[in-house]
Amino acid sequence: MPHHDLVVIGAGTGNAVVDDRFSHLDVAIISEGPFGGTCLNAGCIPSKMLVATADIADTVRDSDRHNVRARLEEVSWPAVRERVFGRLDAQAAEGESGRRSTGWVTVYRGRARFVGERELLVSTDSGDEHVTADRIVVAAGGRPAVPPPIADAGLPYETSDTVMRLSEPPSRLAVVGGGYIAAELAHVFHSAGTEVTVIEQSDGLLAQQDEEVAEAFTGIAADQWDVRLGREVTGLSGTPGDLTLRLDDGTTVRADTVLVAVGRRPNTDTLDVERAGIACDDHGLIEVDAQLRTSAEGVWALGDVCDGGPPLKHVANRQAAVVAHNLLHPGRPREMSYAVVPSAVFAHPQIAQVGLTAQEARERSIDVVTGRRRYQDVAFGWALEDTEGFCKVLVDRASGQLVGAHVFGPQAATLIQPLVLAMSFGLTAREVAERPMWIHPALTEVVENALRDAAGQTDDGS
């Protein structure tokens, strides 16, 4: 029975835990899927590469607003797919071969499950192998959730794990779900020429966003796609390539392809974690403390499989750094903080947020003032001919502290970062607006002016 000093389950963000500082240890990495995990192979990176292509196609289509007469001949999907995955598949293979060549890392390609305390059974193509370890990091990630009416129909469907590798964009795509994955992939395929229908059980798309952002996005999406709100799928019928979704109001949606994007679930149910004494919450997420330790001695967890923070890659990256430090320096451990966690939706328009939404501030009875500026209120917004974008900041009335920020429009994921820094360092809206010098006529002026708007309404005495 092989024994290791450290075993990491998962070669996505889990692979980032181990670097040359661990070279004095006998380390093993167990991965069922390709190295790089969801982010590299089926998530953040390929989707954003496809979004960048979609944005270029849309720019050509919309070029007339800048008095440029351009015509989009086609989006060559097979070439796009090869460019994206030819590069990323090579990266995954190189990641694995690099680990195997270290001389101090053993790679097991297979599914791991606990059979005891820090004892694993790894099922590989060559058979089962028992593995034990002094310490284990569980970073096994998650997978797409699929509603029973679709999962049980016996008909083909796609998820975010598979849809980006289609050989051609479908003529008609039905997207089940209205969150960020649905929004981004609907944008990708719509820009490639697909007719898109989005089915969402909530009354709006991106319901977890600030209410003003969600309303604005839903309105724009409804102008581009067939959007069915407040509806659930009750059944799937037809034949491959000619599918019919039945909705709870008796209506139907026909499509060549169905994309299920209703969320993700942790892979804990495949790990038999209870056999190792690892506690999970009601959602199947491994419970961890601030140091990312589980209830089992010598076992840590990070990423989408644990209950620490939102399931975002940059959160998992920070967790990996904390776990690595705590493994190497148990006498002076570090803790995770989720006080300021930004996120972005790379749809059209792009969206970014940090902190509270307006509805969350109301629920917590926080007295906030709102600063708001439209892209069209600043010079570079004129240059973009943008009439939809805006920046919105939420500021505590008494202290002047930022408690939330939301950007809706081009470059949102970049524009949010000064606000992330401000919240991280406890700066007031007035300090951020007045102390730095903001470039004119950069698009960052929309952030500056939203901050000035809020600062003028606060009681901080500045």
C-alpha neighbours within 13 Å on the C-beta side of residue 289: 10
Same fold: 3-144+265-328 with 148-262: yes
Q: Is the CA virtual torsion 170, 174, 177, 178 positive or negative? A: positive
Closest CA to 371 of 352, 339, 394: 394
Report the alpha-carbon distance of residue 223 to residue 431 in Å, rounded.
Answer: 40
Alpha carbon 18 to its chain centroid, in Å, reads: 23
> Would you state the structure tokens that stand for residue 410, as one six-digit string?
């081009």
Domain borders along the chain are 3-144+265-328, 148-262, 349-455
Class of the CATH domain delimited by 148-262: alpha beta
Under 8 Å CB-to-CB from 271, ≥6 apart: which residues? 9, 112, 113, 114, 138, 140
Closest CA to 304 of 324, 284, 321: 284
Instruction: Spell 165-191 as b/e; 16+ CB within 10 A means b.
Output: ebeebbebbbbbbbbbbbbbbbbbbbb
Report the alpha-carbon distance of residue 180 to residue 12 in Å, rounded.
Answer: 21
Which three-class secondary structure state does DSSP give residue 383? helix
Mean residue pLDDT of the chain comes to 97
Pick the CATH number of 349-455 from 3.40.50.720, 3.30.2350.10, 3.30.390.30, 1.10.1040.10: 3.30.390.30
CATH number of 3-144+265-328: 3.50.50.60
In the annotation, is 440 catalytic? yes
Q: In the prediction, which pLDDT does 1 show?
A: 87
Report the alpha-carbon distance of residue 187 to residue 225 in Å, rounded.
Answer: 9
Residues of the chain with pLDDT under 70: 461-462
In contact, 13 and 37? CB cutoff 8 Å: yes
Residue in 66, 130, 329, 440 annotated catalytic = 440
Strands 351-355 and 368-374 come out as unpaired
Cα-trace Rg, the chain: 24
Report the alpha-carbon distance of residue 320 to residue 372 in Å, rounded.
Answer: 36
